[in-house]
Structure 1
């Protein structure tokens, strides 16, 4: 990745890119998958809570097997090589999310013709066919704890990472992790973590740092081999003057109290809602549970790579119910690392730059299509596992569950 970064564009280059962008609608074709208004430009943000999915018979039951059959044989084997049901569920749902994203981008009601490749760094990508209306379509998936997430984009490199709290990972609720992770943290990041008042707060800060670095490394296509120690992330909202006192106040007690009242874990997104003076936090909790948009307050992340501030990258985070943090990172296509060369061939506008560069183009474009060029925070859509199957298979799943319920009721 380059060191010097400029978001300015020469006039000839700007005019050329405007002409290229004008050829694409950036919208996913209408299909049986349906389309949310916020997803019309194929910028998908999906999350599945696999902790709530309990297939009858586990991974050997009919429901799991029917969904598994949607994958190519080698992918089915990859899912079943895991020993535990939670790992199998996470892996299967991640593969199905990838297929649905590709199918919806193509307007294809089935998965029959979709071929997904992987970079040498294991980033999945749509190899063929390529969507005609989306110049640089790519996607990324992540899973940890109860959540499996997907983010896609039609212009920029995209990476996503979700980081679960220790309890959801089945790890001890302590700080043994800190020494193990020191090598991938800068001194500034270590100091930020130490500012947490409890080990749960310190781990939550670490979650955000790790998730941001992972999302960028996955977007590039290298994953951990990119070198997480090359990056430094910071959180502007944590640096605001007086934020500490405001947060403690939002929690309902003063920092001067020696023993704060005992209560459940307070989520950062809920704190921000309280700081903004409303009961939005309670409504947000309900929305997280009822399958609608996971509209947590987005938080900006500042990114340095090799000591250079990367304003050409857009990195945003939000907190999910249960204390998981998810990061979406968007960057210039030119930053892709693709040793085999297959991933890069899927990009039709490789020299576009990152969101900051395109924002300048959008001001020049002044067209309806240009409104889709800059991603707007829209939250993640929570999907059911059934929603990851084509329509025909969804009907089979419905019938299968009806028979199961009838049998259980003795009908």
Structure 2
């Protein structure tokens, strides 16, 4: 069963917590990484993403935060050292999202912004041509971010990050039921979903194998923090 959990950061709530105190509830490696951020929002997103998954792991496996060992593979994908739980994280703007499923899974959320669409040349030729067919600029930008999140969710599900070139596969039927095409052939092993989310954001997930979608749940920041303190 696939479940997505979303946490929205608000300036008014963030000010009620001290960054230094909350860093006590993540690993020393994560703490060092967070302290290197120059932008406060970047630091807070990274911190709360870690706290969110710790909260969800604690609830899912009935273990305390202090007993959770999060590590990353050589491509940067996080996983649990001593337990088997498939999850993935993403954050953009003021949103942090986490997905948990039965199979290997990836998630990506992106804030839709006005960008130079030449960046889409990193996509496959098929995708780039599809994007250029969109007549209105707003529609092209929205389609770009939908494609981007779908493709990112695929490489994150594989756990190899951008070591997999974005032009090495295509997303087919993006406006209906998205499918992954490797070398021009649809691979039925991958299940893609573009999720109806907040205005101004695109959210997509990919799971390797079939897994029933169990919904999107919005989290309370105070519950997450209090859970990690236990």
What TM-score do you get using the length of structure 2 for normalisation?
A: 0.90
2:139 aligns with: 201
2:65 aligns with: 111
Quote the RMSD (CA, aligned, Å).
2.1
Give the one of 146, 150, 153 matched to 2:98.
150
Maintained 8 Å contact 2:5/2:216 = yes
Greater C-alpha radius of gyration: 1
2:9 aligns with: 50
Instruction: Report how far residue 391 of structure 1 moved.
Output: 3.9
Give the one of 65, 68, 85 matched to 1:137.
85
1:387 aligns with 2:223: yes
1:181 aligns with: 120
Give the one of 161, 165, 180 matched to 2:112.
165
2:164 aligns with: 226
- Give me the whole-angstrom Cα distance separating, in 1, the residues matched to 2:12 and 2:107: 22
Give the total of aligned pairs.
Answer: 230
Q: Which has the higher contact order (CA 8 A, sep 6+)?
A: 2
Maintained 8 Å contact 2:194/2:205 = yes
1:214 aligns with: 152
1:375 aligns with: 212
User: Matched residue of 2:55: which SS?
Assistant: helix
The superposition leaves residues 116-168 of structure 1 with CA deviations (integer Å, 9 ceiling, x where unpaired) of: 1211111100112x2xxxxx5211101112211100112x11000111111xx
| C-alpha spacing 1:383/1:62, structure 2 compared with 1 (3 Å) | closer
What TM-score do you get using the length of structure 1 for normalisation?
A: 0.52
User: Matched residue of 1:329: which SS?
Assistant: strand
Moved over 4 A (4+): 51-54
- Give me the whole-angstrom Cα distance separating, in 2, the residues matched to 1:53 and 1:211: 29
| C-alpha spacing 1:306/1:380, structure 2 compared with 1 (3 Å) | same
**Which structure features the higher share of strand residues?**
2
In structure 2, stretches of 5+ residues that fail to align are: none
| C-alpha spacing 1:323/1:146, structure 2 compared with 1 (3 Å) | same
Maintained 8 Å contact 2:92/2:111 = yes
In structure 1, stretches of 5+ residues that fail to align are: 1-40, 131-135, 167-172, 239-299, 332-353, 356-373, 395-411
2:80 aligns with: 126
1:65 aligns with 2:12: no
